[in-house]
Structure 1
Amino acid sequence: MEYADPVSDLLDPWGAFTTRLFRESCVFHKGNYVKDLSHLGRDLNRVIIIDNSPSVPVESWFDDTSDTELLDLLPFFERLSKVDDIYELLHRNISRIKSYIMRIKL
């Protein structure tokens, strides 16, 4: 079992997350390890990645059972699920997204 499986299971008890990518899913590209989402074979305008870098910014997670950061972001992810182009929304609203994340951490 991967370290993020318990968090993913908690966030997705219905099995809506059809694929989970972990460190082993990374490829080395231009000096960095990245997750190549093109291998998913899906319309990337409808794909989101939850990671500590460089997507929707979240803190790294290491067995802190009191951590609620991803649960706090559920309303945001629900909104994302209703748009046609996730990347356009993220790009257009990155400063507001960062402000929102900072507010929910306080």
Structure 2
Amino acid sequence: MHAAAERLVHEGPVRHRADLARVCLIDNSPVSYNVNEMNGIPIEGWTNDPSDQALLDLLPVLDSLRFTSDVRHVLGIRGYS
């Protein structure tokens, strides 16, 4: 194998690290975001209720996250973390 081509070969799975400053996780179980608590947004569990508005109620918060360089700051101010 040519030396240049040999350097391009990668053994094993490729892993991508998420930029946690740009990630939030909405879940009804805090265990789901236990490792990155500052990125978690708790929500009530969905019970097949067609009038459930929980996700819609989060829209202003989610919209505000697009204007920040680190979502964890906004989530902390709003009391989620």
One fold, TM greater than 0.5?
yes
Query: Which whole-Å CA distance do the structure 2 matches of 1:92 and 1:43 have between them?
Result: 20
Q: Could you say which residue in structure 2 is the equivalent of 1:46?
A: 22
Q: Deviations over 1:4-41 (max 9, x none)?
A: xxxxxxxxxxxxxxxxxxxxxxxxxxxxxxxxxxx763
Q: Provide the TM-score with structure 2 as the length reference.
A: 0.59
| Identical columns (%) | 42
Q: Could you say which residue in structure 1 is the equivalent of 2:5?
A: none
Q: Deviations over 1:52-83 (max 9, x none)?
A: 13321210112111101101110110001211
Matches within 5 A, 1:24-103: 41-54=17-30, 55-94=40-79
Query: Whose RCO is larger (CA < 8 A, sep 6+)?
Result: 2
Provide the aligned length of Structure 1 versus Structure 2: 57
Q: Provide the TM-score with structure 1 as the length reference.
A: 0.46
Query: Which whole-Å CA distance do the structure 1 matches of 2:59 and 2:16 have between them?
Result: 23
Alpha-carbon RMSD across the aligned residues, in angstroms, is: 1.9
Greater Cα radius of gyration, structure 1 or 2: 2
Stretches of structure 1 lacking an aligned partner (at least 5 in a row): 1-38, 98-106
Instruction: Give, as a single letter, the amino acid of the residue that structure 2 aligns with 1:64.
Output: D
